């Protein structure tokens, strides 16, 4: 899969962001082991703490559409914001992406795409195999 396709899908999702409080729009597009793409955008709330990040929204969309185990495995995720680049995932989203085996994170940097091996972003992670 061409990484620009995933970045473009994340951009499309960021355009649907609901961020009237922070005005910080985020879009995420993840690729599953089965080659499906699922997207999410951040959704804020007047009760601020209820806001949801784009990456977790994409993971939830993946799960809601999963028919088998490979539909629940995240190969890579692209994260973009028209308001900041690079837009790296918050700690909570890193942990949730880790749960579903995310291997790589793609972000925009300068005029290009930077790929981070997931282990660089969340080393020594706690995961489902620990239980």
Binding residues vs ligand THU (CB under 6 A): 19, 22, 24, 26, 42, 44, 51, 53-55, 89-90, 93
Query: Which uninterrupted H or E stretch holds 3?
Result: helix 3-14
In the complex, the smallest distance separating the C-beta of residue 101 from ligand THU, rounded to whole angstroms, is 18
Choose, from 44, 55, 104, 108, the residue flagged as catalytic: 55
In the complex, the smallest distance separating the C-beta of residue 118 from ligand THU, rounded to whole angstroms, is 14
User: Are 18 and 10 in contact, with CB atoms under 8 Å apart?
Assistant: no
Nearer to ligand THU, 31 or 97 (CB): 97
For residue 5, what are its two tokens? 């396709």
Question: Any catalytic annotation for residue 55?
Answer: yes
Spell out a b/e string for 25-42, using b for 16 or more CB atoms within 10 Å of the CB, else e.
bbbbbbbbbeeebbbbbb
Residues acting as catalytic residues: 55
């Amino acid at each position: 899969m061409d990484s620009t396709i995933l970045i473009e899908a994340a951009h499309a999702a960021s355009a649907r962001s609901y961020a009237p409080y922070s005005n910080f729009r985020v879009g995420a597009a993840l690729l599953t082991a089965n080659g499906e793409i699922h997207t999410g955008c951040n959704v804020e709330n007047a009760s601020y703490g209820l806001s949801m990040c784009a990456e977790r929204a994409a993971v939830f969309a993946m799960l809601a559409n999963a028919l088998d185990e490979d539909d629940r495995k995240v190969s890579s995720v692209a994260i973009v914001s028209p308001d900041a680049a690079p837009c790296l995932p918050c700690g909570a989203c890193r942990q949730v992406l880790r749960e579903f085996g995310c291997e790589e994170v793609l972000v925009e940097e300068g005029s290009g795409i930077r790929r981070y091996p997931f282990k660089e972003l969340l080393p020594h992670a706690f995961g489902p195999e620990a239980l």
